[in-house]
């Protein structure tokens, strides 16, 4: 399933005729057409009557999924929501509940990284505040302390590879001055790229009321993030070692392994598919989540997402089934 201009030509012509009448109506009366996010007319290719210019639809270069899409031999009953997108042909090869708003856990950190890379610089120095002390049971932490310092690039590696919740707070405060201002920027940037069915309340994905995303929003955010070289390098990394400074200027060493079990070799990649990298997430509210960038044997790139899976074992088994669609 994909968005193409040609499939809507008859309907576009009708819409254009109506617009021509409304915009040039009797007596020179002018009618304004309100912009509505949920109005399907906004998504079509409309002709500017005055300037004779063509406006490209928002989804001209995106995969589209407005309903479930089934694939032969693929059944994922344990997955709350799942999708597979072909980034070359713009086909949606599989879709299940992709517009359901659910807790995204640490898949949130893809948006955190995207905003940080866009508004920061890799060598920007970050300093941890008292807010990096997180006491929520089960929270993934790298153990940074107030006063610790590292570059944004170091922090992004730890954020995306190890999924550290404390470093997400340090990044947010380093980029925007406060978590609240950074979260506001996350929501603004999400809306800019069309991810309008999500809402962020924190930069790390820990469970909070009104913090939610959809699988389709995650696709939009991920495909934007992979446009950045730094993001691509990080998500392909299986382990990372670094040295940063404590509040007294002393060296502190840190070594972390990726939480992506395909890259660690715990699970075998499906035949003829290479898992390039991605992001994991797990909380009691979100279940087990995984988002991947993969390539087929011909080099075609794909984004696959599974959220709210019942267990880690089922997550990787279902992801392999999903990637098995790729020929």
Q: With respect to residue 1, please indicate whether it lies within any of the assigned structural domains.
A: no
pLDDT > 50? residue 248: yes
Q: With respect to residue 70, please indicate whether it lies within any of the assigned structural domains.
A: no
Give 242-261 as a DSSP string: EEEE-TTS-EEEEEEE-S-T
How much is the average pLDDT of 182-189?
Answer: 98
CATH number of the domain that 215 lies in? 3.40.710.10
Tell me, yes or no, whether 126 and 24 share the same domain: no
Tell me, yes or no, whether 217 and 271 share the same domain: no
What would the pLDDT profile of 20-36 be if each residue is shown by its tens digit? 444 444 445 444 555 45
Q: CA 147, 112, 295, 233 torsion: positive or negative? A: negative
Q: With respect to residue 52, please indicate whether it lies within any of the assigned structural domains.
A: yes
Tell me, yes or no, whether 29 and 88 share the same domain: no
User: Which residues are within 8 A (CB) of 85 and not within 5 positions of it... i.e. 6 or more apart?
Assistant: 63, 65, 91, 92, 93, 219, 223, 302, 303, 304
Q: For residue 39, name the pLDDT band (cuts at 50, 70, 90).
A: low
What would the pLDDT profile of 105-117 be if each residue is shown by its tens digit? 999 999 999 999 9
Tell me, yes or no, whether 110 and 242 share the same domain: yes
Q: Which residue has the tokens 């570059």?
A: 151
Provide the edge-to-edge strand list for the sheet that holds 251-257. 125-127, 149-151, 239-245, 251-257
Question: Which of 207, 222, 257 is at the close of a domain?
Answer: 257
Indicate the average pLDDT of the chain: 88
- What local confidence, expressed as pLDDT, does residue 135 receive? 93
**Helix spans in 133-240 (H):** 152-157, 165-176, 179-192, 215-225, 229-235
- What local confidence, expressed as pLDDT, does residue 47 receive? 43
* Total domains in the fold of the chain: 3
Question: Which of 233, 257, 281 is at the close of a domain?
Answer: 257
Catalytic residues: 106, 109, 163
Q: With respect to residue 40, please indicate whether it lies within any of the assigned structural domains.
A: yes
What would the pLDDT profile of 277-315 be if each residue is shown by its tens digit? 999 999 999 999 999 999 999 999 999 999 999 999 999
- What local confidence, expressed as pLDDT, does residue 56 receive? 56
Tell me, yes or no, whether 224 and 271 share the same domain: no
Question: Which of 238, 257, 276 is at the close of a domain?
Answer: 257
Instruction: Compute the half-sphere exposure of residue 166: CA atoms within 13 Å on the CB side of its CA.
Output: 23
* Longest CA pairwise span in the chain (Å): 78
- What local confidence, expressed as pLDDT, does residue 283 receive? 95
Q: For residue 60, name the pLDDT band (cuts at 50, 70, 90).
A: confident
Tell me, yes or no, whether 45 and 85 share the same domain: no
Q: Which residue has the tokens 């470093």?
A: 167
CA–CA dist 271, 167 (Å, integer): 36
- What local confidence, expressed as pLDDT, does residue 58 receive? 61
Tell me, yes or no, whether 114 and 89 share the same domain: no
Q: Which residue has the tokens 């995106």?
A: 62
- What local confidence, expressed as pLDDT, does residue 138 receive? 86
pLDDT > 80? residue 96: yes
Domain enclosing residue 40, as ranges:
6-61
């Amino acid at each position: 399933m994909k968005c193409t201009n040609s499939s809507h030509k008859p309907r576009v012509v009708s819409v254009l005729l109506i617009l021509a009448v409304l915009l040039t109506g009797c007596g020179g009366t002018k009618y304004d057409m309100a912009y509505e996010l949920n109005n399907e007319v906004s998504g079509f290719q409309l002709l500017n009557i005055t300037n004779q210019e063509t406006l490209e639809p928002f989804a001209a270069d995106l995969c589209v999924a407005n309903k479930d899409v089934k694939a032969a031999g693929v059944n994922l009953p344990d997955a709350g929501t799942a999708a597979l997108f072909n980034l070359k042909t713009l086909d949606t090869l599989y879709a299940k509940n992709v517009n359901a708003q659910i807790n995204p856990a640490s898949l949130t950190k893809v948006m955190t990284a995207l905003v940080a890379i866009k508004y920061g610089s890799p060598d920007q120095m970050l300093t941890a505040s008292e807010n990096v002390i997180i006491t929520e049971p089960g929270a993934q932490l790298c153990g940074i302390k107030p006063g610790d310092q590292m570059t944004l690039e170091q922090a992004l590696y730890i954020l995306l590879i190890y999924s550290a919740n404390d470093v997400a707070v340090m990044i947010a405060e380093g980029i925007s001055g406060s978590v609240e201002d950074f979260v506001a920027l996350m929501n603004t940037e999400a809306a800019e790229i069309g991810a309008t069915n999500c809402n962020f309340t924190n930069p790390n994905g820990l469970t909070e009321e009104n913090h939610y995303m959809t699988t389709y929003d995650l696709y939009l955010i991920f495909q934007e993030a992979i446009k950045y070289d730094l993001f691509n390098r990080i998500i392909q990394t299986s382990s990372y070692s670094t040295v940063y400074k404590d509040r007294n200027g002393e060296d502190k060493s840190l070594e972390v392994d990726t939480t992506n079990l395909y890259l660690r070799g715990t699970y075998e990649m499906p035949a003829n598919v290479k898992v390039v990298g991605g992001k994991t997430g797990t909380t009691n509210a979100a279940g087990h989540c995984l988002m991947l960038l993969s390539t087929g044997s011909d080099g075609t790139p794909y984004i696959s997402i599974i959220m709210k899976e019942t267990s880690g074992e089922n997550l990787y088994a279902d992801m392999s089934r999903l990637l098995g669609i790729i020929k």
